[in-house]
Structure 1
């Protein structure tokens, strides 16, 4: 009955199912942290802000930040994309790779977001990485899949009925 474009579905997923809550204000970053971010992913040292919030990262956690940046790079995000992501959502660098990012990236890839589509999804709505995998992302994607399968089934049944009608008319 309805045919959805992939761009509409991406927009629908992001706006309806994956909206996120805002993060708290983050205080100033140290000079060496800004240098680290500039060197590791090209974040502009002139304005390390995120929607008016200042970046603050603990020097003790540089290895964790390196792990997050390395993980993002290994999944197709390039330095300018990572810099944009970090400047918009600095909390991303405070994510735990094995327990937070990795399972969500794997789920998105299993769902079909592979190649250049995966970074596009993450950059379009980085809050997707903030949502709970089991209680939010999986149920949301299941619902969307059911809707699409139902729509596809209706389209197939409708075409079959039209073909049968066409054969009767001949």
Structure 2
């Protein structure tokens, strides 16, 4: 409630989805995101939409997805938009789901800088089973 500004009811609801003994993991998730251009409000909205994100290992779950998006040549603002707009992307495996989906989409369309930018509006497509 204090860190994320959740009303009491929302905090109680979120607590049914996530449990942690210390604030070490949640703090490391926030620190990693802030160091990669995420604003506090964006992090708060992501936690509200997908509470388990604060208990994940940021270097195993979050960082590889950020690095993959950047490796595609996306500007940091687009990477942040994609990862903020699609909470289900954190439930998906990078190697088994996201990269194969990206490669499939790439095989269908000629992806360039302009079309990569439009992916921020359709990021859910990376979470689909093609």
The alignment covers a number of residue pairs equal to 110
Cα shift readout 1:55-110 (whole Å, capped 9, x = no counterpart): 12545230110000011111111011111111111111011112111111111111
Task: Please identify runs of 4+ aligned residues in structure 1 that moved more than 4 A.
Answer: none
Q: Tell me if structure 2 keeps the 8 A contact 1:85–1:126.
A: yes
The match for 2:14 among 55, 63, 71 is: 55
Q: Tell me: CA distance 1:59–1:147, structure 2 relative to 1, closer, same or farther (3 Å).
A: closer
Q: Tell me if structure 2 keeps the 8 A contact 1:48–1:87.
A: no
TM-score (norm 2): 0.74
Q: Tell me: CA distance 1:103–1:48, structure 2 relative to 1, closer, same or farther (3 Å).
A: farther
Deviation at 1:122, TM superposition (A): 1.1
Structure 1 residue aligned with 2:58: 97
The match for 2:73 among 97, 101, 112 is: 112
Q: Which runs of 5+ in 2 are unaligned?
A: 113-130
Q: Does 1:81 align with 2:42?
A: yes
Q: Does 1:136 align with 2:82?
A: no
Between the aligned partners of 2:36 and 2:9, the Cα distance in structure 1 is 24
Deviation at 1:48, TM superposition (A): 6.0
Deviation at 1:133, TM superposition (A): 0.8
Larger CA Rg, structure 1 vs 2: 1
Q: Tell me: CA distance 1:131–1:48, structure 2 relative to 1, closer, same or farther (3 Å).
A: farther
Between the aligned partners of 1:141 and 1:134, the Cα distance in structure 2 is 11
Between the aligned partners of 1:102 and 1:83, the Cα distance in structure 2 is 18
Cα shift readout 1:125-148 (whole Å, capped 9, x = no counterpart): 121121011110010000111112
Between the aligned partners of 1:144 and 1:75, the Cα distance in structure 2 is 26
